[in-house]
Chain A
Amino acid sequence: QQQVKQSPQSLIVQKGGISIINCAYENTAFDYFPWYQQFPGKGPALLIAIRPDVSEKKEGRFTISFNKSAKQFSLHIMDSQPGDSATYFCAATNTGGFKTIFGAGTRLFVKA
């Protein structure tokens, strides 16, 4: 129940294309769903996050779609750029608690 399943494991997208990464969770107590971006040799950084009371959140080229009934959420990167090449982690947390559960990560490569 504490798992967050993320797919795909790796993704290759052409420059200008749309990158889509999916995650699913089981624990309905989670109330905060962030996406983190990590470049090689660096710590993760928050990219965008959503709460379950909204179905979509958009920040620039990045959009989270959230389906509460299906317990799924996804990250869409529009107009993908080579600089977006990184590893992306979805996560889920219960803000009343302390632990954040991370997905396995998706390695995105955007071809120029």
Chain B
Amino acid sequence: GAVVSQHPSRVICKSGTSVKIECRSLDFQATTMFWYRQFPKQSLMLMATSNEGSKATYEQGVEKDKFLINHASLTLSTLTVTSAHPEDSSFYICSARDMGRPNTGELFFGEGSRLTVL
């Protein structure tokens, strides 16, 4: 099956610093990847849609200057949380659609990244 690798799985940083999270599709190509934020015991909140070679599309209320997304290749998207603050602490998850199977609708998820901002 298709595998999405997300790194790091856990990161602790100081307030004011920036943190980069990587999302890689290991055995398929993905023109589109998605970034979610998940609070404890809640559903996945879509933050943005990452498009290879173009700007990301952000959901309403998500600060694009705060959460920088880069999708430089067909297998890699990155989310950078800039000037992180404690309220940015959360579980961040990426997903990808296999461009070789565009009509399936299936999403392949990464393992998630737990960010803790001190």
Contacts and interface: CB of A to CB of B under 8 A. Distances in A.
A45 B114 contact: no
B93 A95 contact: no
Contacts of B6: 43
B49 A105 contact: no
Interface residues of A, number: 22
Contact of B43 (A32, A43, A93, A105): A105
A44 B109 contact: yes
Given A89-B44, A105-B42, A107-B41, A32 B109 contact: no
B105 A43 contact: no
A43 B32 contact: no
Contacts of A102: 43-44
A100 interface: yes
A99 B33 CA distance: 11
Interface string B90-118: 01010101000011111111111010000
Contacts of A103: 43
A104 B42 contact: yes
A78 interface: no
B105 A42 contact: no
Interface in B59-114: 91, 93, 95, 97, 102-112, 114
B49 A98 contact: yes
Contacts of A42: 111-112
B93 A44 contact: yes
B44 A44 contact: yes
A49 interface: yes
A93 B93 contact: no
Contacts of A98: 32, 49, 97
A23 B73 CA distance: 36
Contact of A49 (B41, B49, B105, B114): B105
Interface of B: 4, 6, 32, 34, 41-44, 46, 49, 91, 93, 95, 97, 102-112, 114
